Structure 1
Amino acid sequence: MARRGLKLMAAGALAALLTAGCAPPGVDGDLVDDWPVVAEPQSWSPVAGECHPAAYWGENSLAKYTPVSCDESHSWETFHVGTLPAERVTLPPAGGVDRAAVFKECSAEADKFLGGDWRDARLSLQVLYPTKEAWSGGARWFRCELANIDIEFPVNRRESLRDSLAGSAPALARGCYTREGDNFEPIACDKPHNYEYVGTWFAEPSMEYADLLRRASRIHRECRSLVAKFAKVPDDAAINARTGTQLLLPGRQEWDEGDRGVGCMLFLSRTLHRSMKDAGTKGLPINYR
C-alpha cells in the first residue's frame, strides 16, 4: 500500500530576551531578534469535510493548513476530526496502543464516510496530530485523512470520496493484480493476472513490528483462511495445496501510526482470467500450480 510518510522556539526566544540585560528593543540596530516569536493560536483546530492539495507529513500547523474545496484539485480529504482526553499529558507515542486506538477510530469513521470498508479499496488512511507547541497549549484534536492511491502515490481528484464505496461494484475496489517487481498493478479480473485481494488480517494492537515480521508463517495461514472464505473452499489442510498467498504488510511508519492491518492476496502460478470470488473447488483445485 503506499502511503504516508508521516510526518519551537517562542519560549527560547522569550527567555533570551528576558535574560539579555538592559537594552530596550531596537537599540542594537536589529529590529527582529529582540521580539518574541508569536505562538500558534491554540484555539485553532481542523475541520472535517475539507480537502487538501497535498499531505502535510507532520507539518501540521496552522501555517501549513491550506484547505481547498473538494471540487478543486486535491489529493487528501479530512473526513473526521476526533478529540483526545483533555487531561492527557503527552501526544500518543508512536507504535503504542493509544495510536492504534486512534487509528481504529479513524478506520471506523472512514467506513461510515465511504459506505464500505476502506481497506477493500485503493485508498490510504493517515492520522495527523497537533504540533508539539499546539499540544502544549491545550490542543487535543486528531484528524483523519483519506486519499485514493494509484499503485503508490495519491491521485488528484475533483470530488469528495464520500459514499464512493456504496453499491455493489465501487470503482475504487481492490480486485485483481499483476506484479512488476515489488509493485502490484490493478487490472480487470477478466484480463490475465495471478494475484487477487481477498481481505485484511489484523494484528493485536500491542504487537511489536519486529514480531509482525517474525510471524510471517502464521499470517500466511490466517490469509489462507481468508482465501477459503473468499473462494468458498474448505478451510482445511488442503488449502495449502489450493493457493499461495501474498502479504501486504504496513510499513514501519504506518505501523507506528497505528495501522495493524495486513492485506491478503491469493497467488497462483497459473494465469487467471476471472475472479476467484465464490469460485469453489473447481476454481481452486488442489495443486494450485
Structure 2
Amino acid sequence: MRWGRTLAKVGAIVAAAVVAVLVLLALRPADRGSEAGPAAGECWAGVDPVRVACTEPHRLETVAVGEVGSVLGGRAGPPARSELGGEYAECGRTAGRYLGADWRTLHVQLIITAPSREQWQQGRRWYRCDAITLGDELDPVADRRGSMRGNPDGSGPAPDLQLGCATHVVVLNAFIGTRRLPCTDPHDMEFVGIAESDWPDFPATADAVSGAFAVECKSRAQTYTAMPADLLDQRHVTITARPTGDATTWPGGEHSARCWVLLDHPITTSLYGLGDLPTS
C-alpha cells in the first residue's frame, strides 16, 4: 500500500480551483439580488449568473437558505466566508436533506454566500448555500440539466451524483484528474469514504494532506474493501485524499476529505466488500 502524495496534491489544487470558480459564480447572484431574497431550489446559469429553470443548463443550485446568527448579524458589514462556521455546518446538514445524502459523498461542492454590503445595509441577514456539480479531468465544474434534489421518495440522491468508480487521467506522464465511470467498466479508482481530521490548520501541501488524513483514509479503505490491514499493505494500491474544503472553510469546521483507492491495473467490479483485489 502506498500513500498518493501526487494525487493528494492534485486533489488540493482541484478543490481550490472549484472553490475559486464557485466564489466567482456565487457572489454575483447575491450582488444582483432580488427583493424576495434567495430560495432553495433556484438554479443559476451563465458567467454573470441569472435564474433559469433547472431543466436548462446551469452550474449553481441553491440547496439551502438561512439566517446569519445574531452576533455576526449585529455587525456593520457582512461576514467573510471563513467566519460563517456555524452557518456552514447547518448549510451542510440542510443540503444533505435536499440532496438525499451527505454532500461530501456526492459529485458536489458547496459554498456559502452572505449578502452584498449594499444588501446588508438594507437589513438583509440571510445566507445562501449553493451546490455545484463537480466535473472531470481539467474542467473542475460541470453544466447540468435537471435539479440536484434527491429522489422524490426520499430513498437517496440523484444516481448521477453518487461518487463511485473512476479512472485517473495521465497526459505526458502527469496526472491531471479523474474521469467517472460505471464500476462495470474498466477503472482503477474507487471512492471508499470520508475521513475527518483534527488538525488546527488547513493542510495546504501534499505532505500535510498525508499527515491529516492518511491514517483514517486507510481505515476507510479497510472497512470498504473488507481487507485486513496486513493484506492491504501487501497489495499494490495507493490510497489518497482530496479535501472537501479549503483554507476559508477549515476554520469553520469543514475538516474532511474524500478517500480514494487507486489500483495499478484496471478492474471491472467494485471493491466493496471483496476482501481482496481482483486480478482484472
TM-score (norm 1): 0.70
1:135 is matched with 120
Q: Does 1:179 pair with 2:168?
A: yes
RMSD: 3.3
Unaligned runs of 5+ in 1: 8-38, 57-63
Q: Which protein is richer in helix relative to its size?
A: 2
Structure 1 pair 217/207, CA: closer, same or farther in 2 (3 Å)? closer
Q: CA deviation at 1:226?
A: 0.5
Q: CA deviation at 1:212?
A: 7.4
Structure 1 pair 246/145, CA: closer, same or farther in 2 (3 Å)? same
Q: CA deviation at 1:202?
A: 2.4
264, 267, 279: which is aligned to 1:269?
264
The one-letter amino acid of 2:58's match is H
238, 245, 248: which is aligned to 2:239?
245
d(CA) in 2 for partners of 1:40 and 1:94?
18
Structure 1 pair 158/188, CA: closer, same or farther in 2 (3 Å)? closer
Equivalent pair of 1:54/1:76 in contact (CA under 8 Å) = no
Q: CA deviation at 1:76?
A: 1.3
1:160 is matched with 147
Q: CA deviation at 1:233?
A: 2.4
1:209 is matched with 202
Structure 1 pair 154/178, CA: closer, same or farther in 2 (3 Å)? same
Tell which has more relative contact order, 1 or 2 (C-alpha 8 A, sep 6+): 2
37, 40, 45: which is aligned to 1:53?
45
The one-letter amino acid of 1:78's match is T
Q: CA deviation at 1:121?
A: 1.8
Q: CA deviation at 1:116?
A: 1.6
d(CA) in 1 for partners of 2:89 and 2:200?
15
Equivalent pair of 1:77/1:160 in contact (CA under 8 Å) = yes
Equivalent pair of 1:224/1:240 in contact (CA under 8 Å) = no
Q: CA deviation at 1:270?
A: 3.0
The one-letter amino acid of 2:115's match is P
1:219 is matched with 213
d(CA) in 2 for partners of 1:264 and 1:40?
37
d(CA) in 2 for partners of 1:153 and 1:82?
27
Alignment of 1:28-177 (within 5 A): 45-54=37-46, 66-88=50-72, 89=75, 91-95=78-82, 98-151=83-136, 152-164=139-151, 166-167=155-156, 170-177=159-166
Equivalent pair of 1:103/1:257 in contact (CA under 8 Å) = no
Structure 1 pair 137/257, CA: closer, same or farther in 2 (3 Å)? farther
Q: Percent identity?
A: 25
The alignment of Structure 1 onto Structure 2 pairs a total of residues equal to: 241
Q: CA deviation at 1:86?
A: 3.6
Question: Could you give the per-residue CA deviations for residues 115-163 of structure 1, whole angstroms, max 9, x where no partner exists?
Answer: 1222222122221111123224432111011122221343333322111
d(CA) in 2 for partners of 1:123 and 1:188?
18
Equivalent pair of 1:43/1:139 in contact (CA under 8 Å) = no
The one-letter amino acid of 1:156's match is D
The one-letter amino acid of 2:124's match is A
d(CA) in 2 for partners of 1:139 and 1:85?
12
Q: CA deviation at 1:274?
A: 1.3
Q: CA deviation at 1:173?
A: 1.3
TM-score (norm 2): 0.72
d(CA) in 1 for partners of 2:97 and 2:52?
23
The one-letter amino acid of 1:51's match is C
d(CA) in 2 for partners of 1:168 and 1:131?
32
d(CA) in 2 for partners of 1:121 and 1:186?
12
Unaligned runs of 5+ in 2: 1-13, 25-30, 170-174
Equivalent pair of 1:130/1:139 in contact (CA under 8 Å) = yes
3-state SS of the aligned residue for 1:264? strand
3-state SS of the aligned residue for 1:271? strand
3-state SS of the aligned residue for 1:209? coil
Equivalent pair of 1:231/1:279 in contact (CA under 8 Å) = yes
